[in-house]
Amino acid sequence: MIARLEKIVPKTLLLLSVLALAACGGNDGSSSTSSTATAMNNGGSKVFLQGQVADGYLDKALVFLDRNGNKVADPDEPQTNTGPGGHFKLLVLATDADQYPVLAQVVPGQTFDEDTGNRLTNPMTLEAPVGQYQFISPMTTLVKNALDKTPGLTPAQAQLQVQAAFSLGGQVPLNSDYIAAEQSSDPQQAAEALRLHVTAQTAAAIMSALQTDISANLGGTIPATRTAAVQALLTDIAMTNANKITTALEPTAANPAPTPQEAAAGILAGIDPTTLDESLLALYQQRPDQQNPLWGANPPPTTPSCPTARQPRPRAAEARAPIN
């Protein structure tokens, strides 16, 4: 999907191509085999950033360039929607293309998960490291937040960190289309792609359910000032439960084909959602406010230190079908 400029074309031909592209629009989520295309307007040179968004492929998700780092689609930031196959084309200033990350948000009741054939009911934010917008998924979200928490890491090191946490072999890069890779003629690569897919589904189910819980704890809405803290908390929970997720997806005699929904339900049962409150988010907010590192492998606890008699609030389970 990465565009490569393979030859220099005459300036006149390039200009005609640019004008034709601009006339056709393109900020509509339609698919393309290249990841960038150039256009011109009175504001200067712009490029189309082209990629896909997936848990399974997500149609009608909101995609935006997060220029201020608050993980919110602000009105003055470039935005578009994904189309079938999770494809998007996002028009941005050329100077911004490799400077800011591209994020995608599930819009409850609108975003369509092609894995299940259903519209999603829980919100979720997906991210990718700067310049790696070609495939955005729950796994790239974990990579991006590893970089946010440890600025000294390189993207390659962050990817290795996530792969190791989930016992993934690395045959399929985390920033590649694992759904397409399931059709690989290499049996090992196809098997790894399937593992990556169900792991991503499970992480997505956990993070989206907990985001709904947090929103309820905050009165029904997550303020823009807390969005980054929420995202940091959710990814920490996913990473600290990586081994449990991996184990829950392993076949057993009692359950030879565990589904991501079943795996996620087991993880969620061990987290009291009432503990994901403002006081915990305030700790996470210290990182962007004070430029402090987060807690790495030892985040603030997400369950009470002493048992309580409170019962976790029932969750609206997201229907995520098994992959055949």
pLDDT recorded at residue 231 = 95
- If pLDDT is split at 50, 70 and 90, which confidence band does 105 have? very high
- Positive or negative, the Cα torsion across 117, 119, 121, 123? positive
Do 184 and 318 fall into the same domain? yes
- If pLDDT is split at 50, 70 and 90, which confidence band does 178 have? very high
Q: Examine the pLDDT at 94 and tell me if it is beyond 90.
A: yes
**Cβ neighbourhood burial of 20 (10 Å; 0-12, 13-18, 19+):** exposed
pLDDT recorded at residue 149 = 85
Q: Are 51 and 101 in contact (CB under 8 A)?
A: no
Q: What confidence tens digit (pLDDT) does each residue in 106-164 have?
A: 999 999 999 999 999 999 999 999 999 999 999 999 999 999 888 789 999 999 999 99
pLDDT recorded at residue 11 = 42
Do 112 and 147 fall into the same domain? no
Do 267 and 178 fall into the same domain? yes
Range with the poorest average pLDDT among 1-10, 184-193, 239-248: 1-10
The b-or-e profile of 191-225 (16+ CB within 10 A means b, else e) is ebbbbbbbbbbbbbbbbbbbbbbbbbbbeeebeee
Rounded to 5 degrees, φ, ψ at 323 are: -95, 130
Do 300 and 208 fall into the same domain? yes
Q: Examine the pLDDT at 224 and tell me if it is beyond 90.
A: yes
Do 221 and 204 fall into the same domain? yes
CA 87 to chain centre: 14
| Mean per-residue pLDDT, 276-297 | 71
Q: Which single residue is written with the structure tokens 């409170």?
A: 310
Q: Examine the pLDDT at 206 and tell me if it is beyond 90.
A: yes
Do 141 and 120 fall into the same domain? no
* CA–CA separation, 93 and 300 (whole Å): 39
Angle at 55 between CA 53 and CA 58, to 5 degrees: 50
- If pLDDT is split at 50, 70 and 90, which confidence band does 237 have? very high
pLDDT recorded at residue 3 = 41
- If pLDDT is split at 50, 70 and 90, which confidence band does 286 have? confident
Do 74 and 151 fall into the same domain? no
| Mean per-residue pLDDT, 204-230 | 95
Quote the tokens at residue 312.
């976790």
Range of the domain at 21: 1-132
Q: Which residues contact 270 (CB under 8 A, 6 or more apart)?
A: 244, 303
pLDDT recorded at residue 30 = 42
Do 16 and 112 fall into the same domain? yes
Q: Are 162 and 281 in contact (CB under 8 A)?
A: no
Residue 315 or residue 61, greater confidence: 61
Rg, C-alpha atoms of the chain:
20
Nearest to 87 by CA among 22, 32, 137: 32
Do 169 and 290 fall into the same domain? yes
How many domains would you assign to the chain?
A: 2
Do 62 and 163 fall into the same domain? no
Percent of the chain with pLDDT over 90: 71
| Mean per-residue pLDDT, 288-303 | 50
pLDDT recorded at residue 6 = 41
